[in-house]
A and B are shown apart, each in its own frame.
Chain A
């Protein structure tokens, strides 16, 4: 904007604040890299040795993060994909097919995100226990999909609103069925919006604690965040580097995804998702 706005005082404040902000990350990496015997609570600021991968291995086996990682990856991929498709179909129905009372449908679907998770936890727990979905991977996928649908429908409705009506009319005249038009014209056009929704929802699923804590218990079903809290409470005192390595390990995928797709995140933010 203005050249004088990059003044030294301004830069200095930002650098100092930035360093303070990075300090916990530094502590995490340095101490997750120490061997369990080499860790001393009195010298947490000093680097000592490099056993990061041994610690990763320990976290992996001790908290069964391996099993959990497979399950969580499954949830973070399948549920957002389903939600994106279901949401896109709803957007297509409301905007392109001019669903009667479309706005009411939209408000109904989007309204699903307004209340906090606490409001649905107990009935989901009871319902899952009664229907045999409790502690199953299918059950977890269903609940993560449902949570992600409203936001997906919201974004897709907005996206399809921006597409000219003539696209649909031309497709109809060319003799395409409604499903085919959806699949081979509208979905491919929405690539960037679909990717944005997918990335945001995959991050949400990956980082979820509450639903995993409530609806699962076994190591092969339980998502990664509840598993990490288990590692923390079991090994918290004795093997801190292992716990920290676990914390670092589960953070890597979302941090990498975030750095690679920052603009999607800022768009999602503006939509008020997180």
Chain B
């Protein structure tokens, strides 16, 4: 009775070796697709960012010219400032609101249902969000009429007609879309907190805000890191909503860097400039990604 087991083991070992030999064949399609359509373009963009290139003639080396322009050309500096506004706006408004909704709905009898209105906009595309909010923010439109009805000032404001107000209103639109997602993430975070210390805190008389500050907040740290990391990455990529609502205008008053990249490349044919903006965005995105990827990857290994 010894022999079959031995053969079995030897067979398994043998097969493991064939497995290792054939393995690259299974991994190759993924690696090839990623190399060809993502890494190769990445390298080309990196090179082009140091050149003067219009897409037709050969690229001419120009050193850091394109990068210097990002910090001196008034339009691009404007886009940089707007992007910064987006980052600050999206790491505060949707995060704070998401946290509020999560804490209020967590443990609530109808929590799932009360959370639904906030989640609904998340299922809608950025383009549709732009269409809806472009409509809401029309001069004397839906928002203006509400302000007028309530007797508040601002009823006749052209919300999207001047910077930086137009950027702020578009941040509100994206907050509408993104708050629910953050709430969902915070709820996942809350669920991982053991119930006992919370109960104990209640018995000690810690209530409401105090309870939140001393018991929940410290334990929500990891998930907050993820939410903020994702918010930064998302805000840097802001394109769809702006493209639909203002196309970056009037003039360039509401352009973001992601939008400038598109315009420089495909409208103005300044490929080098577009590439430099893209690489800059990538570096900042990468730095922000490290924030949450570390957590995410270690989490994946644990499972």
Chain A residues near B (Cβ < 8 Å): 1-2, 5-6, 10-11, 13-15, 17-19, 21-25, 27-28, 31, 41-42, 44-45, 86-87, 89-90, 92-94, 96-100, 102, 105, 108-109, 111-112, 114-127, 142-143, 145-147, 149-150, 153-154, 157-158, 161-162, 168-169, 172-173, 178, 182, 203, 206-207, 209-210, 213-214, 225, 228-229, 232, 240, 243-244, 246-248, 250-251, 254-255, 257-259, 262, 265-266, 269-272, 274
Q: What residue of chain B has the Cβ atom nearest to residue A267's Cβ? A: B188
Taken together as a complex, chains A and B put the C-alpha atoms of A9 and B119 apart, in Å, by 22
Taken together as a complex, chains A and B put the C-alpha atoms of A274 and B292 apart, in Å, by 13
Taken together as a complex, chains A and B put the C-alpha atoms of A96 and B16 apart, in Å, by 9
Given A115-B282, A153-B30, A274-B234, 19 other A-B residues pairs in contact with their CB atoms under 8 A: A2-B198, A27-B135, A42-B140, A90-B27, A90-B31, A108-B35, A120-B45, A121-B262, A122-B41, A123-B48, A169-B15, A178-B18, A178-B19, A214-B266, A248-B128, A255-B123, A257-B123, A259-B123, A272-B292
Taken together as a complex, chains A and B put the C-alpha atoms of A208 and B29 apart, in Å, by 24
Q: Are B141 and A44 in contact (CB under 8 A)?
A: yes
User: Closest CB-CB distance, A84 to chain B, in whole Å?
Assistant: 11
By a CB distance below 8 angstroms, the chain B residues around A225 are: 125-127, 240
Taken together as a complex, chains A and B put the C-alpha atoms of A266 and B226 apart, in Å, by 14
Q: Are B131 and A121 in contact (CB under 8 A)?
A: no
Taken together as a complex, chains A and B put the C-alpha atoms of A270 and B258 apart, in Å, by 25
Given contacts A109-B30, A255-B120, contact A2 B296 (CB under 8 A): no
User: Closest CB-CB distance, B206 to chain A, in whole Å?
Assistant: 12
Q: Is B181 an interface residue (CB 8 A)?
A: yes
Q: Are A100 and B244 in contact (CB under 8 A)?
A: no
User: Closest CB-CB distance, A266 to chain B, in whole Å?
Assistant: 5
Q: Is B80 an interface residue (CB 8 A)?
A: no
Instruction: Give chain B's interface secondary structure class.
Output: helix
Q: Is B133 an interface residue (CB 8 A)?
A: yes
Q: Is B104 an interface residue (CB 8 A)?
A: yes
For B19, B25, B44, B198, the residue with the greatest tally of chain A CB atoms inside 10 Å of its CB is B19
By a CB distance below 8 angstroms, the chain A residues around B20 are: 97-100
Q: Are B132 and A93 in contact (CB under 8 A)?
A: no
Given contacts A146-B34, A173-B8, contact A44 B176 (CB under 8 A): no
